[in-house]
Structure 1
Amino acid sequence: MSKPPRIGLLGAGPWAERTQAPALAAHPGLEFSGVWGRRPEAAAALAAAHDTTAHSGEAGIDALFAESDAIAFALPPDVQAPLAVRAAAAGCHLIMDKPVATTVEGARAVADAAAAANVASVVFCTLRFSPVTSAWIDDQVATGGWFTAHAQWLGSLYGPSAESSPFAASPWRREKGGLWDVGPHALSALIPLLGDVTEVTAVRGEPDLTHLVLRHNSGATSTAALSLSAPSKGARTGFVAHGEHGVVSLPEEWGDPIGSFTAAVDALLASVRSGLPHACDVRFGLRLTEILVEAEKQVAAAAAGK
């Protein structure tokens, strides 16, 4: 790109306000081309805060695509997926939130559209772009020799003593729970270390706790415990890998999400320049969706058999 790339933002909620918009506005190597929101007043407020253009309605989506080289998403998964298909068809590169979609069909449509349009893509799995955690994952991949790993993402967003959070009002998050909201975090670290998932076993506890046992193509197995409804004093995030070189734990500090999203933008721009796909692109996002859908099917089948 001879001129600074223009990146627009779809979404004007809490995540966009706290992470994507500040990162795009502060990035020295791009032009923040505009904000579209489902609520016109929210889009206008966010655009005004960052000295860019507000868009709303169907015409606003197409206008933002026309004014942008890339589109960042801060929308619920099954809202962002069809819009990403449209963005790719308009020639825009994609920075998507996780999960890409909550259906395999929705995620595959995005991957197919990106391939057909030959646009670059990145899925913003935070661990893969935070400087601290991404470096840790790279180090463990280089070390190798891991035979198991155990992930715990036990949030208290809906726990009995949870404090008020703007993210708790998200309908999709409440409906889909920890499996879909924090499951991508766990998988984004497990898969690089142990290989693609070849077998999934899922068990649901109340009210929102899902246990996964995974077999990987390396022959290793792993586990993950995922929830958004843990009691606040019982909430924790942890990731431990065991291997021939010892036991290692993921750093507890993930860093500033604005910095992590900036790194995701840089990764997208590097992929555009090189023509090489990023490891955490929409095809990886599709794979995450396939795994989570299989887990959800097993949970539903067990519930139906009671």
Structure 2
Amino acid sequence: MTTPASPSPTATPSPSAAYSSSAPFPGPPVRVGLVGAGPWARTMHARMLAAGPETELTAVWARRPEAAREVAETYGARAAASYDELLGSCEAVAFAVPPAVQAGLAVTAARAGRALLLEKPLGPDLDSARALADAVAEAGVVSQLVLTKRYHPATRDFLARAAGLEVTGARSCYLHGGFLGGDLATAWRLEHGALLDLGPHLLDLLDTAAGPVVSVRGTGDPRRWIELTCEHAGGAVSQASLSGAVNLPRVRTRVELFGPGEELVYDTAGLDHEECWPVLRAEFAAAIRAGRSTEIDAGRGLRLQELLEQALPR
């Protein structure tokens, strides 16, 4: 799952808050079913999909029926009695569940011909991620990753500017204290740590901004602090510091690129992450109607999972 950037993940804003869009969407809204009813499902997936106009939240299914019913009623959807019922009510499925759960259920949805809105990482390990990516490719369905930062205009501006740079080295960090307690201190995060949860974000940015990563190695404990060293195809070397178990007043995400020219810095401290969701929703719906995934798809998720596997401390 993606780590929420907002400081109040338990709040459930109005479905229309910060999600309205005045741009006309060609054709009827995409009917999306949601799997999961936890804090991230409530505060991001459900309200984003229900806000439209590009999507319509049709049904919610979770292992806890009462939780699914609460989310569904809040956003004008219905609670599905089973996963099969959910699949029968929609043309796309969004997942807001732990990686091990997503990896299995998403394969079933792909084989049923449903488009997929997937969390990162794709699965708890490389084998499960590859099985999911293979199922998506074999079924020919549209897929898209919730790599939150990729949908913010500031991130896209940073990556566009980075494309014109000669990068010699880079350093980056993604740090917060969410694993110390609260909604983010979930079982899978506490087991796997920051590498699987936060690593996809930084590896995606470094792989895109500094050139394709050809090797990565990690040191430390992913449950406390892990340091990654990446070598890039163009000769650049980068560092990434990851932790979800440090006491900070707010999330700290930063990427610095260095080379013969001026440094280029990307910092999320001043970004409003609410700007990401309308972009994500619109691009997912447009990809479904066009029958063609964006570059941020299950294939990209598999690429990141391969890097995560390399980075595991041995």
> What SS does structure 1 have at the residue aligned with 2:263?
strand
Structure 1: which amino acid aligns with 2:179?
Y
Normalising by structure 2, report the TM-score: 0.86
**TM-score (norm. length: structure 1):** 0.88
Q: Distance in 2 between matches of 1:271 and 1:43?
A: 27
- CA positional deviation for 1:30: 2.1
Quote the offset at 1:287 in angstroms.
1.1
Match of 1:228 in 2: 244
Alignment equivalent of 1:150, drawn from 142, 147, 171: 171
* 1:202-255 deviation digits (Å, cap 9, x = unpaired): 111586111000011222111101011113369632211113331111132332
Query: Residue 17 and residue 179 in structure 1: after superposition, are their counterparts in 2 closer, same or farther (change >3 A)?
Result: same
* CA pair 11-284 structure 1, distance change in 2 beyond 3 A: same
AA matched with 1:19: M
Answer whether contact 1:98 1:123 (CA < 8 A) is retained: yes
- Whether 2:58 is the aligned partner of 1:33: answer yes
Counterpart residue type for residue 140 of structure 2: N
Q: Aligned pair 1:181/2:202, yes or no?
A: no
Separation of aligned partners in 2, 1:75 and 1:125: 15
Q: Is the 8 A contact 2:32 2:55 kept in 1?
A: yes
Q: Which structure carries more helix by proportion?
A: 1
Which residue of structure 2 aligns with residue 63 of structure 1?
85
What is the aligned partner in structure 2 of residue 281 from structure 1? 297
1:24–1:262 contact (8 Å) kept in structure 2: no
Q: Secondary structure at the match of 2:179?
A: coil
Moved more, 147-156 or 8-17: 147-156
Aligned to 1:104: 126
1:122 and 2:144 aligned: yes
Q: Which of 35, 38, 45 is 1:13 aligned to?
A: 38
Secondary structure of residue in 2 paired with 1:204? strand
**1:209 matched to 2:234:** no
Q: How many residues align?
A: 288
Compute the displacement of 1:292 (Å).
0.9
1:247 equivalent in alignment to 2:263? yes
**Equivalent residue of 2:67, what SS?**
helix
Q: Distance in 1 between matches of 2:40 and 2:219?
A: 30
| Aligned-partner Cα distance in 2 for 1:280–1:118 | 15
State yes or no: 1:47 paired with 2:72: yes
Gaps of 5+ in 1: 302-306
- Percent identity over the alignment is 35
Question: Given that residues 124 and 261 in structure 1 are in contact (C-alpha distance below 8 angstroms), is that contact kept between their aligned partners in structure 2?
Answer: no
Residue 183 of structure 1 deviates from its aligned partner by 0.7
Amino acid at match of 1:95: L
d(CA) in 1 for partners of 2:178, 2:298: 27
Structure 2 gaps of 5+ residues are: 1-25
Q: Aligned to 1:86, what secondary structure does the other structure show?
A: helix
Instruction: Give the CA RMSD over aligned residues.
Output: 1.9
* Secondary structure of residue in 2 paired with 1:105: helix
Give the CA deviation at 1:271: 2.3
Distance 1:48 1:206, change over 3 A: closer
- 2:262 and 2:31 map into 1 onto residues whose CA distance is 46
Residues 1:136 and 2:152 are matched in the alignment: no
CA separation of 1:206 and 1:23: change in aligned 2, threshold 3 A = closer
Equivalent-residue separation in structure 2 for 1:196 and 1:81 (angstroms): 25
Per the alignment, in what secondary structure is the counterpart of residue 267 of structure 2?
coil
